[in-house]
């Protein structure tokens, strides 16, 4: 039986840190860091983390970053979802979809109108309400440079019925 743990972030000294790092490294092997802190250095410390446990084992992970971004001339609070990973032997059973649903419940409870993610495989998120974004997007790239273009794989979901505008956006930070 799965248990969902909702926490802010996973401390390096915490009992799940090594397991979560292994889960993420298996899902994202390119340039995988040795410690969970390496992910936090890359993307920042999450506002909220959803961890899915099966007994003592961590089988799923999703990090959420609440951030104020610029949408045309307006500043809007959004949720950025990242580091979504399911253990290889538990994939295809709806666990990622379930984690995203919990993330949306959390964001809706905080009156946050939009969720954004950057997908390797956009199809995974379509049934959760995500659409591919066409907005020109300014963001801080890993090389420290601010860049602007339509970011491949960027997707949005409308959480409170407010329509997502096709206007330039500024992420005011990195993608996650
Ligand atoms: C991608 C990943 C998180 C999906 O987790 P999962 O628990 O297997 O996904 P679910 O079972 O909840 O499936 C959700 C939807 O995605 C689809 N899907 C799952 N894996 C897919 C894949 N590799 N390619 C295309 N579609 C996929 C499912 O068919 C399902 O579609 P539906 O809701 O329309 O029926 C998991 O495969 C993983 O950890 N992969 C490695 C890391 C990664 O790529 N993370 C995502 C970054 S975008």
Summarised one tens digit per residue, pLDDT across range 118-174 is: 999 999 999 999 999 999 999 999 899 999 999 999 999 999 999 999 999 999 999
What integer is the mean pLDDT of 93-121? Answer: 97
Q: Which class is 2-170 in CATH?
A: alpha beta
Is 15 in a helix, a strand, or coil? coil
CA of 96 to the centre of ligand 1 (A): 6
Summarised one tens digit per residue, pLDDT across range 36-85 is: 888 888 888 999 999 999 998 999 999 999 999 999 889 999 999 999 99
Q: Which of 60, 82, 86, 124 for mutating ligand 1's site (highest number of atoms within 8 Å of CB)?
A: 124
Minimal-distance CA residue to ligand 1 atom 21: 124
pLDDT score of 148: 97
Q: Is the pLDDT of residue 15 over 90?
A: no
Kindly report the backbone phi and psi dihedral angles of residue 53, in degrees, each rounded to the nearest multiple of 5, phi listed first. Answer: -115, 145
Whole-number Å distance between alpha carbons of 171 and 78: 10
CA of 123 to the centre of ligand 1 (A): 8
Confidence of residue 2 (pLDDT cuts 50, 70, 90): confident
CA of 94 to the centre of ligand 1 (A): 8
pLDDT score of 14: 84
pLDDT score of 13: 83
**pTM here?**
0.95
Chain CA centroid to CA 70, Å: 18
């Amino acid at each position: 039986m799965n248990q969902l743990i909702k926490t802010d972030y996973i401390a390096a000294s915490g009992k799940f840190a090594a397991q979560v790092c292994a889960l993420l490294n298996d899902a994202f092997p390119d340039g995988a860091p040795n410690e969970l802190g390496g992910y936090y250095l890359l993307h920042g410390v999450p506002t909220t983390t959803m961890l899915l446990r099966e007994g003592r084992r961590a089988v799923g992970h999703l990090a959420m970053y609440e951030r104020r971004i610029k949408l045309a001339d307006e500043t809007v609070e959004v949720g950025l979802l990242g580091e979504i990973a399911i253990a290889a032997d538990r994939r295809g059973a709806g666990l990622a979809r379930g984690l995203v649903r919990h993330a949306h419940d959390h964001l809706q409870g905080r009156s946050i109108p939009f969720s954004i993610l950057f997908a390797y495989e956009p199809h995974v998120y379509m049934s959760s309400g995500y659409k591919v974004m066409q907005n020109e997007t300014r963001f801080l790239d890993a090389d420290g440079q601010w860049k602007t273009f339509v970011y491949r794989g960027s997707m949005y979901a409308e959480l409170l019925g407010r329509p997502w505008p096709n206007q330039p956006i500024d992420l005011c930070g990195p993608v996650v």
